[in-house]
Chain A
Amino acid sequence: MAYSDKVVDHYNNPRNVGSFTKDTPGVGTGLVGAPECGDVMKLQIKVNLDTGVIEDAKFKTFGCGSAIASSSLATEWLKGRTIDEAAKIKNTDIVSELKLPPVKIHCSVLAEDAIKAALTDYKDKYASRLAGAGAAAASS
């Protein structure tokens, strides 16, 4: 199977590989997939706690070239979005951008799951603060 140019590019030059340290504020982490399935993605977002905008994103992926490319692309797309906008990224967007063949669609699904898991983790961690911000907004 030949890979699309974009998959090859992300594989050769992955964007935003790495991890945030545990104590970085505003970080949400998603860890999805399973080693026995051959795919695990860790995707992290770093959100500006005042604006709700994702300032940075990082990933690490165990998986095939398409899985690496899907998560690399996801980090690229996440940067600069608000968390609400981030939640709108669909696996089908990844499929069309990377021209993934049918057998690789699960890689894009996993990337979408990783985004969702990172957003959920962020919301869980900062729920009180978000609620506080909401309350403050409502009372003003």
Chain B
Amino acid sequence: MALKFPIFMDAQSTTPCDQRVVDAMLPYFTEKFGHPASRNHPFGWEAEGAIDAARQRIARLIGARDPKELVFTSGGTEAINLALKGAAEMYREKGNHIVTTAIEQRAGLDTCKRLERQGFEVTYVPVGSNGLVDVEDVHKAITDKTILISVMFANNEIGTLQDIAALGKLAREKGVIFHTDATQAVGKVPVNVEAMAIDLLSCTAHLMYGPKGVGALYVRRKGPRVRLQPMIDGGGHERGMRSGTLPVPLIVGFGRAAEICEEVMPEESVRLAKLRDRLQDLILSSVDEAFLNGDPERRLPQNLNISFAYVEGESVLMGLNKETALSSGSACTSATLEPSYVIAALGASTELAHSSIRFSLHRFNTEEEVEFVAKRTIEVIKRLRDMSPLYELAKEGVDLKSIRWKAE
């Protein structure tokens, strides 16, 4: 099969909508346009029925007992904001301490930063060099003031999968609410809010082949019943936790995406892991001083993150971007002009954070694409190393740490 360019291997930023998802959504823009809260005519009933069906599909995918435990939001960011701010405000009387990790996505970290300004105390548990949080560290961080533990399920850069079941068990034993940002995990790996004792779970449709602009927060209703202070006031939709007319077409798409993910996950996760392993082997076997970031075993099947010493990430992307879409933890590719705090949190040198490249595969990638991307990546790294003063110094046997760099 002929390759089609550009090749998309940046599927942890977003995924293409599955055509079946789009097909499911379309009628809800035109003939089935009703408001799901219109209780007195068939347009409303039809929309409400569609929402209920979507809710059931998503609930099934994450093992929720009751579809009503899902609160639709505008995406992962809003779900995380609602979980953290909503719980913090609701349980403020009980305590003011939150435990989270150093590698949460910005929605989690920045929400915690805001809560700190409002008088909450937050412990950012570090991760090991493989990106894993030690459950014991979380245990030790809990105090009698702790009201919430928030640990991401799968990291967006390095794909590392945390031991969510152990963390859920710990939180349950301690009587602390447990939230997980499962934005990258839902639809990719098995997630079960019951088996894993999850109280709050954030997810988003656009990372599971659904549309952008819709996500959900799972809010446990029983054992324990979790209550949240809403952030958006209005008509009292979504059990009062998130007012606003539901975006019916988006939710229908989300539901269909969840249904497809559930159906294909066993096959797809194996296939993508194989493609990913092939990509990894091709690259690591022909490039020296290339370091795998994150845990080699406990990671998302479609994730591969490598730091290529002596070359800067953006320059790698620039060499590939006509043919291949990837992403980098380099400062030059981030909005904040800081290199990846996730790679830095692994204890690697800051330099290696600048050199990290994330390959993330998706449902529609092929073996030919993987071979092509590996070949081109190897070429670009070689070319950039030939023009890297650091590579030259290292090859001459100079210890780069012995040089007194004049950092600005």
Contacts and interface: CB of A to CB of B under 8 A. Distances in A.
A binds B: yes
B185 to A, nearest CB: 30
B339 A62 contact: no
Given A64-B312, A103-B337, A36 B349 contact: yes
A35 B390 contact: yes
Contacts of B386: 17
A3 B312 CA distance: 16
B357 to A, nearest CB: 13
A61 B389 contact: yes
Contact of A11 (B315, B350, B408): B315
A34 B331 CA distance: 13
Contacts, number: 84
* Dominant secondary structure of chain A at its interface with chain B: mixed
A29 to B, nearest CB: 10
A67 B339 CA distance: 16
Contact of A36 (B315, B319, B350, B387): B350
B406 interface: yes
Interface in B297-352: 310-312, 314-315, 318-319, 330-332, 337, 339, 349-351
A62 B311 contact: yes
Contact of B314 (A36, A60, A64): A64
A32 B406 CA distance: 7
Given A34-B407, A36-B350, A60 B312 contact: no
A37 B407 contact: yes
B315 A60 contact: no
B405 A33 contact: yes
A95 interface: no
Interface string A24-49: 00000001111111111110000000
A63 interface: yes
Nearest to A2: B321
Interface in A48-100: 59-65, 67-68
Interface in B349-408: 349-351, 354, 386-392, 400, 403, 405-408
A19 B351 CA distance: 23
Given A35-B405, A62-B312, A65-B315, 4 more contacts: A33-B405, A38-B354, A40-B390, A60-B389
Interface of B: 310-312, 314-315, 318-319, 330-332, 337, 339, 349-351, 354, 386-392, 400, 403, 405-408
